[in-house]
Amino acid sequence: MTVSPVPPQGPSTAPAGFWRRLWRDLREAVAGSDQDFTEGNLRRAIALLAVPMVLEMAMESVFAVVDVFFVARLGPDAVSAVGLTDAVLTLVFAVAIGLSVPATAMVARRIGEKDREAAARTAFQVIVVGLAVSAVVGVFGVFGASSILDWMGASETVVAEGSVYTAVILGGSATVLLLFLLNAVFRGAGDAAIAMRVLWIANLINIVLDPCLIFGLGPFPELGLAGAAVATTIGRGCGVALQLWVLLGGRGRIALERRHMRLDLPILGRLLRLSIGGILQYLVATSSWIVVMRLLAVFGSVVLAGYTIAIRIVVFTILPSWGLANAAATLVGQNLGAGRAARAARSVWLTARYNLYFLGGVSIVFLLFPRPLVALFTADPAVAEMAVDSLRWIASCYVPFAYGLVMIQAFNGAGDTMTPTWINLACYWLWQLPVAWYLAQPFGLGPTGVLLSIASAESLVGIVGIIAFRRGRWRERKV
């Protein structure tokens, strides 16, 4: 590709030109870009994809925060019902994420091949699978809500107050699954701004309806805890309606038309086969986190509270990191589809470097100034001390973690969902959990031993991820 020479600029105009270009790219990223991500400047491509993906995930996290904010005013039983329902919903998220990984990879590959017909057929298979899974979950949730809460250990009062909430949330699981899956389709197609706007609108509706339906504001009925479930389901449902409007109207890179709306068994089979690795990835990571919480719970509520606060801080600070990693997945898929494996590899290394810059900066803050951050969440000195220690240990692994996160998503973008699964199994189940138990109990380090195991496991994910990516077998995956 020929690059036109750029005339030299003086010191007074160069900065202004840089900021103009930056502002232009940010506006294009949020508004939506029609750039071909298999061509052109890679740095700009990463920015155009990563910015809306970061904002999309920020919006997704708002759902849970908004519900808990308003539900907390109904009392501890209501909060308990929400927490227990969310624990069950984690299984639905596992399926949604597991299916979204191959959905992104397959759509990205077809877009890279310039085969939008096949991309549209893939999108329809994704919808079919999402509806089928949600039908099973919905029936189970509607008719078994009380039994679910009882099985989770809820008290009689929590079961009585929360069963309707659980029934509505699980009964409306189609909105959860389709929201995840169709946004995965948009990301794979390079329509990251559409996925972002869908979450914005869904969250805005949820935020407005939550207090209205919970407390009966204005003309709305007072539904109490059930109102939170109805508001969330309506918000997500409106997001899905917007997604379908875009797909059916051809307003994005994929136009879903009548001729695409039929079962395609080869595509459906590949989607289901690749989703096994995606689901296992999430389940391995989630289950290891649950065991870590169980190990820390032995040392009392102060330790557990401090670690929980630290994790909440960490989750919000790594959102940009996840956005960058998802951008790498899309770039890998599309460039492999275009037969440009070398460009796919360059996009991964460049994205990982940017991720390193960001998380490296965050780690400095966590290592040097953790106390002001923790003080925003607790005034208890003992809880704060545990939170500070947790932030510092987690920050110590951010450099390799920055690379590991991008490598995992790069494998997923290539359609290689099993390599990340094996990495997670080795680093979390075979290393982190045994080391955490041994250091905390027989070796006598207590909570510090658990934190040390977390830092070592995340570092190991980065190291093993880099080694596996360099082997290059991901280039040969057929999706």
- Residue 128 near residue 154, CB atoms below 8 Å: no
Q: Identify the residue with better confidence: 68 or 374.
A: 374
The interaxial angle of helices 76-112 and 265-297, nearest 10 deg, is: 140
Residue with tokens 């973008």, as numbered in its chain: 413
d(CA 278, CA 285): 11
Q: Which residue has the tokens 């809460």?
A: 149
| Residue 72 scores a pLDDT above 90 | no
pLDDT digits 0-9 by tens, 292-326: 888 888 888 788 888 878 887 887 778 788 888 99
pLDDT at residue 455 above 80?
Answer: yes
Q: Please give the structure tokens belonging to residue 412.
A: 């997923």
> How does residue 62 score in pLDDT terms, banded at 50, 70 and 90?
low
**pLDDT over threshold 70, residue 15:** no
Residue with tokens 């914005």: 200
Q: What's residue 287's pLDDT?
A: 84
Q: How far is Cα 448 from Cα 298, in angstroms, rounded to an integer? A: 13
Distance CA 468, CA 425 (A): 14
What is residue 255's three-state secondary structure? coil
Question: What's CA 362's distance to the chain center, in Å?
Answer: 19
**pLDDT value for 230:** 94
pLDDT tens profile 174-202: 998 999 899 999 999 999 999 999 988 99
User: Which stretch, 75-79, 149-153, 388-392, has highest mean pLDDT?
Assistant: 388-392
pLDDT at 77: 78
pLDDT at 7: 44
C-alpha span between 57 and 181 (Å, rounded): 14
The share of the chain scoring above pLDDT 70, in percent, equals 95
Mean of pLDDT over the chain: 88
- Which residue has better confidence, 62 or 474? 474
pLDDT digits (tens, 9 = 90+) for 328-349: 999 999 999 999 999 999 999 9
Choice between 9 and 100, residue whose per-residue pLDDT is larger: 100
Q: Give the other-Cβ count within 10 Å of 394's Cβ.
A: 26
DSSP of 196-240, one letter per residue?
A: HHHHHHHHHHHHHHHHHHHHT-TTS---THHHHHHHHHHHHHHHH
Q: Is the pLDDT of residue 276 over 60?
A: yes
Identity of the residue numbered 210: D
Decide if pLDDT at 2 tops 70: no
CA-to-CA separations, 453 to 17, 219, 317, in angstroms, rounded: 47, 54, 21
User: Bigger pLDDT: 241 or 71?
Assistant: 241
Q: 8 in helix, strand or coil?
A: coil
* Of residues 25 and 455, more confidently modeled: 455
- What residue type is assigned to position 318 of the chain? I
Give the confidence band of 91 by pLDDT, cuts at 50, 70, 90. confident
In 3D, which of 478, 474, 185, 190 has the Cα closest to residue 331? 190
Reference 327, options 97, 102, 52; nearest CA is 52
Which range is least confidently modeled, 46-60, 218-232, 254-268, 277-291? 46-60
pLDDT at 82: 77
Q: pLDDT-derived band of residue 385, with 50, 70 and 90 as boundaries?
A: very high
Dig out the tokens for 206 from the structure: 């949820």
CA angle 397, 401, 404 (to 5 degrees): 150
Q: Which residues contact 88 (CB under 8 A, 6 or more apart)?
A: 148, 152, 166, 170
Residue pair 318/401 in contact by the 8 Å Cβ criterion: no
Contact criterion met (CB below 8 Å) for 166 and 85: yes
Task: Please tell me the predicted confidence (pLDDT) of residue 286.
Answer: 81
pTM: 0.85
| pLDDT number for residue 423 | 96
Q: Do residues 407 and 352 touch, judged by C-beta distance below 8 A?
A: yes
User: What is the Cα–Cα distance from 230 to 210, expressed in whole angstroms?
Assistant: 8
Reading the block at residue 280, the tokens are: 């296992």
- Cα 371 to Cα 85: distance, rounded to the nearest angstrom: 33
pLDDT at 50: 86
Q: Does pLDDT of 12 surpass 70?
A: no
9-13, 122-126, 471-475: least confident range: 9-13
Residue 195 has phi, psi (to 5 degrees) of: -60, -40
Q: Residue 454 has which token pair? A: 């977390």
pLDDT at position 61:
63
Burial class (CB in 10 A: 0-12, 13-18, 19+), 463: middle
State how far the Cα of 265 lies from the Cα of 243, in Å rounded to an integer.
Answer: 24
Q: Are 177 and 96 in contact (CB under 8 A)?
A: yes
Length of the chain: 479
Residue with tokens 């039983």: 77
Residues 6+ apart with CB under 8 A from 194: 32, 186, 243, 246, 251, 252
Pull the structure tokens for residue 158.
């929590």
The secondary structure element, H or E, covering residue 63 is helix 42-71
Range from 35-44, 77-86, 105-114 carrying the lowest mean pLDDT: 77-86
